[in-house]
Amino acid sequence: MTHYVIKEMKHPIKDIKVDLGKDLPLWRYIQMAVQDIEVINELGLHPINDDVAIPFIHVVNWKWNPHPLSKDIEYKRRETGERLKTKPIGNIRLGILEFDIYCGAKDKNRRLETHCVHNKIYVPIEDDQGKYLVDSTKYSEYQIVDKLLYPAGRNTVILKSLLPIVISYDDIEEISMDGYHIYSKIGMVKIFTTMEPILSCFMHIPAVFSYLYVFPILQWTDHIIDDKDEYHYFQPLAGKNIYIKGHKKGLEKFNYCRSILAMACHLVRKHQPENIEQVNDPKWWVYKLSYYDAMIEQRGACHEMHVARMLDTISAQVLPIPEIDKRNMVALLRYCLQTEFTDINIYSYENKRLRHNEVISTIVTADVSEKLKKMFKFGSLLTMKDMLQAVKFNREIILKNMHKLETIHDTDFSNDLDYYQNLRATKNGQHTAA
């Protein structure tokens, strides 16, 4: 009987299944990382005038070759002067990812000039044991179990993305013209190196209250009408006919509406629009939010461009939120404003995922980010001469940098204890080795 009972006993966690996601081939992550350079095309949403060529980039003609011939793979190195000498690659297992970048920008005569730049990236291929072979050395990689949401101090969270999406909340109070007090939290997001009201990321959108789903509870207006029985009026700037009226029942019921109202008042006081026309003008906000001291309007969209590039394609695919809320960065920020993360267990495996090949692709992601940063500096004044440098990728970018990742190591250990002692984990860091 004892034997039967033991045999039929079920382990209490036998049926628990944890889905940490599926790792894609490395070349697919690299493809998505390169494709993010197309965010530069958002400059076309804010043309200065019709006679200026707007820069654009399209990545096309993808080709993945997992079995290239040895003659197709070679190092290049500069010898003396203008002479170039090629050197065959040693013992290595890799494929070649090829693509074309079709780009356009103005020439010295301010006319549109286009080029098609062919690129190759050498991509190491793992074997059945998850090891890479580069220059006769075998490398293996720690599997990373990555959280998608990190605590970062009081009232602050960080979402994993191309750039860390740092969001904090501060308590705020606003008083209406008839003495009604609202208490709420104002959402702040890190733009460049400073914390800015999240609402500033939406001001380039026409009818911003409608986009944020708070109209008609909240409305901009330049005058007060006889509807004070239903609405409270807030005047952010004394002496100016700029008002926000909020429906009384809506403000009492929805904390989200109170938060948007508080951010709108804060934003108006900070940037001092002269009238309601400027408040409702997306172009005025785009250039007012510029981080350049001089109001150079062709560079004014840098605030919006920085926001747009914060969310990369890979992160958008894996974030466990509705598809409609992660199509772009402003949609994700709207979701953050509507969501309280206090009830999410960030340490649960439901909110984690495995990162293996994706970690290596961050080498390309960082390179794309740096290229975009250089191009944003010029804005619509970007010339083809400067763009051509940004659309050329080093074919050995992965091979030369993968050993710098802390998760990559060579497997030339003398015994098993060496491997164990080289494995490091942290409870409080952003990654957990598994």
Clarify whether residues 241 and 170 are in a common domain. Answer: yes
Task: Give the count of domains, the chain.
Answer: 2
DSSP summary character for residue 147: E
Clarify whether residues 60 and 161 are in a common domain. Answer: no
Q: How far apart are the first and last CA of the chain?
A: 40
Answer whether residue 229 is part of any domain. Answer: yes
Answer whether residue 132 is part of any domain. Answer: yes
Domain of 267?
Answer: 149-331
Q: Which residue has the tokens 């820069």?
A: 55
Position 5 scores a pLDDT of 42
pLDDT band at 233 (very low <50, low <70, confident <90, very high): very high
Position 64 scores a pLDDT of 95
Query: Is the pLDDT reported for residue 13 higher than 60?
Result: no
- 94-105 per-position pLDDT tens digit: 899 999 999 998
Structural contact between residues 162 and 64, judged by C-beta atoms closer than 8 angstroms = no
Position 89 scores a pLDDT of 59
Arithmetic mean of pLDDT over the chain: 76
DSSP summary character for residue 20: -
Answer whether residue 243 is part of any domain. Answer: yes
Of 242-251, 326-335, 383-392, which range is least confident?
326-335
Cα–Cα dist 373/378, whole Å = 9
Position 428 scores a pLDDT of 46
Instruction: Please indicate whether residue 101 or residue 285 has the higher confidence score (pLDDT).
Output: 101
Of 30-39, 218-227, 349-358, which range is least confident?
349-358
Clarify whether residues 187 and 312 are in a common domain. Answer: yes
Answer whether residue 258 is part of any domain. Answer: yes
Clarify whether residues 389 and 254 are in a common domain. Answer: no
Clarify whether residues 421 and 383 are in a common domain. Answer: yes
Instruction: Please indicate whether residue 418 or residue 65 has the higher confidence score (pLDDT).
Output: 65
Clarify whether residues 161 and 289 are in a common domain. Answer: yes
Can you point out the beta strands (E) in 222-265?
231-234, 243-247
Structural contact between residues 279 and 220, judged by C-beta atoms closer than 8 angstroms = yes
Clarify whether residues 139 and 173 are in a common domain. Answer: no
Query: Is the pLDDT reported for residue 106 higher than 90?
Result: no
Clarify whether residues 216 and 325 are in a common domain. Answer: yes
- 48-82 per-position pLDDT tens digit: 555 566 788 999 999 999 988 877 776 655 555 66
Position 22 scores a pLDDT of 64
Give the contacts of 60 (CB within 8 A, at least 6 positions apart): 99, 100, 101, 102
Answer whether residue 341 is part of any domain. Answer: no
Instruction: Please indicate whether residue 241 or residue 143 has the higher confidence score (pLDDT).
Output: 241
Position 296 scores a pLDDT of 47
Clarify whether residues 115 and 178 are in a common domain. Answer: no
What residues does 96 pair with on adjacent strands? 65, 122
Answer whether residue 301 is part of any domain. Answer: yes
Answer whether residue 11 is part of any domain. Answer: no
Give pTM, 2 decimals: 0.67
Look at phi and psi of residue 305 and say left if phi exceeds 0, alpha if psi is from -120 to 50, else beta: alpha
Answer whether residue 212 is part of any domain. Answer: yes
- 298-316 per-position pLDDT tens digit: 455 666 777 777 777 777 7
Clarify whether residues 270 and 362 are in a common domain. Answer: no
Clarify whether residues 192 and 296 are in a common domain. Answer: yes
Residue 12 phi, psi dihedral angles, 5° rounding? -60, -25
Clarify whether residues 217 and 324 are in a common domain. Answer: yes
Position 161 scores a pLDDT of 63
Mean pLDDT of the region 399-413:
65
Structural contact between residues 261 and 269, judged by C-beta atoms closer than 8 angstroms = no
Beta strands at 149-151 and 156-159: parallel, antiparallel or unpaired? antiparallel
Query: Is the pLDDT reported for residue 189 higher than 50?
Result: yes
